[in-house]
Structure 1
């Protein structure tokens, strides 16, 4: 039995230099649909062709290729994090919240690969 139960969504988060230009490229090249741009958070999301899978574009000054991070949706991030920590899973700092949007927490697998939990706070 798993330590936590995830929902049926996943966001693949990547760092990019210009979110708007990258979103346009993904739209024109792969047919992804822009969902939103949250300029104050430096974040954009694109709907992929796969149900429940979105592409997240986080703006950074010097993005590194190969930096994709899977972000798993979860209904209760505090409870999920508590269970994972009790199972010995290492987290990178506290859970971060953007009110009315999302709470996220970065954690690592045994090989140091970063992943995130995300609780949708938008009510949608």
Structure 2
């Protein structure tokens, strides 16, 4: 039995220089469809050809090459974070909230690989 219960969604988050250019590339090369561009948050999301798996593009002036963070959907991020912290899982700072959009928290596995939890705040789940 696991400590927390994840939803059946995974977003693979990557940082890119230009979300719109990257979204076009993923569409043309791999057939992924743009779900939305959230320009105010510097974020775009694409539907892959696998149910429940999306690609998230975070815009950064100098993205690190080869970066990738799996983002696991969760219904109650605060409770899950509390349970993981009690189990001595290390988190990277405070929980980030984009009101009306998403709540996220980055944490690390024992080898220092970054993972993220994300709670949908749009009410569309």
- Fold shared, TM-score > 0.5 on shorter chain: yes
Query: Is 2:107 the counterpart of 1:107?
Result: yes
Residue ranges of structure 1 left out of the alignment (5+ in a row): none
Q: Which residue number corresponds to residue 58 of structure 1?
A: 58
Q: How many angstroms apart in 2 are the aligned matches of 1:99 and 1:16?
A: 23
Match of 1:96 in 2: 96
Q: What is the CA distance between 1:95 and its match in structure 2?
A: 0.5
Q: Which TM-score applies when normalising by structure 2?
A: 0.98
Which structure 2 residue ranges, 5 or more long, are not aligned?
none
1:75 aligns with 2:75: yes
Q: Distance in 1 between matches of 2:3 and 2:88?
A: 11
Q: SS of the residue aligned with 1:50?
A: coil
- Report the equivalent of 1:22: 22
- What RMSD, in angstroms, separates the aligned Cα atoms of the two structures? 0.5
Residue of structure 1 in register with 2:38 after alignment: 38
2:78 match: secondary structure: helix
Tell me, in whole angstroms, the C-alpha distance in 1 between the residues paired with 2:16 and 2:61: 8
When normalised by structure 1's length, the TM-score is: 0.99
- What number of residue pairs does the alignment pair up? 124
